[in-house]
Every structure is written in structure tokens, then in C-alpha cells.
Amino acid sequence: MTRGRRRKAEIHAHQATTGTPYLVARRQIAALAEVMQQHPRLNSFGIGVFNPLRKTAEQRRTELAVGREELAGGVVMVMETAAWLRENITPIKTPTVSSYTVKHVMQRATGRYVTNGVFIAAALVAGYTFKYEQPNVLFGMSARDLKRMN
């Protein structure tokens, strides 16, 4: 199967899962792919791998590849999380809030579990300012909105 056919099949599968129009599904998949390309260490765990000093280089590469594959397959969760963020959390310029903290605020508010990597990808897709602090990321999100959600 050619790359174009694989991509169309992926878009059709996402479209069938979400019920979104073809172009919207295509844009969503492209947005996540772009974020993953811009952040090559982003995966379902977060940034990098868990406990990297206790692993060989090969183990780190394998774990990163598996985590990136998991994240790439989670387009629906990433887009739902990005939509929730846009609706509920105002962006600010200075990154001060940890992705892990806001992920738990969102889980309490919605009752839905997301991985740290899915949350980070969603915030990046939504356009929040950021600063790496591995394995988490600091984001520019309104403290007032976060307190309101708790």
C-alpha cells in the first residue's frame, strides 16, 4: 500500500470513529503529526522516556518509538483534550504550570483519563506557550481558570 493510500485509510478510520467530515479529520491528523515532528522526543509518557539513566540506548530508542506510536494513534483523545483546553483555560504568555498538574485538573473536571503525552500534545496543538521541563512541560495557562476548575 502506498503512503498516500495509508494516509487516506487513516483519515477515513478517524472520520468513521469521530463522525467528523473528511477535511476536518485530515486537519486533525496533520496537526498532531506536525506537533510530533516539531517535538521528536514527545511520546505518550511525555518528553523522553521514564528513568532513562537505567536503560541502554537501545532500550530508550525502543521505548520512545513505542510511545510515539501510541501517541500517534491517539488523535481522538488529543483533539478532544485540545478542544477542552480551548474552551476552559485561557492562554497566557509566561509558562508556569506543569502539564502533569493541569492533566489532573482536567481529569477531575471531566472524569476522563489522559496520558501526560496526550495532554502535552493537545496543549501544543491548542497553541499554548511552553517550556520543556522533562518529562513534563510548563505551559502558559491562566491560574485563575485552573483554580476555578478545581
Q: Model pTM?
A: 0.88
The pLDDT score that the predictor gives to residue 8 is: 84
Q: What whole-number distance in Å separates Cα of residue 39 and Cα of residue 23? A: 24
The pLDDT score that the predictor gives to residue 69 is: 93
The pLDDT score that the predictor gives to residue 70 is: 93
pLDDT tens profile 43-85: 999 998 888 889 999 999 999 999 999 999 899 999 999 999 9
Q: Per the structure, how many domains does the chain have?
A: 1
Q: Is the dihedral of CA 15, 102, 126, 87 positive or negative?
A: positive
On the question of pLDDT at 140 being above 70, the answer is: yes
On the question of pLDDT at 6 being above 90, the answer is: no
Domain interval for residue 29: 3-148
Are the CB atoms for 143 and 98 separated by under 8 Å?
no
Q: What whole-number distance in Å separates Cα of residue 72 and Cα of residue 82? A: 15
Q: Is the dihedral of CA 86, 89, 94, 99 positive or negative?
A: negative
**Closest Cα to residue 138, out of 86, 87, 88, 103?**
103
The pLDDT score that the predictor gives to residue 142 is: 95
Please tell me which residue, 14 or 89, carries the higher pLDDT value.
Answer: 89
**Closest Cα to residue 47, out of 123, 124, 133?**
133
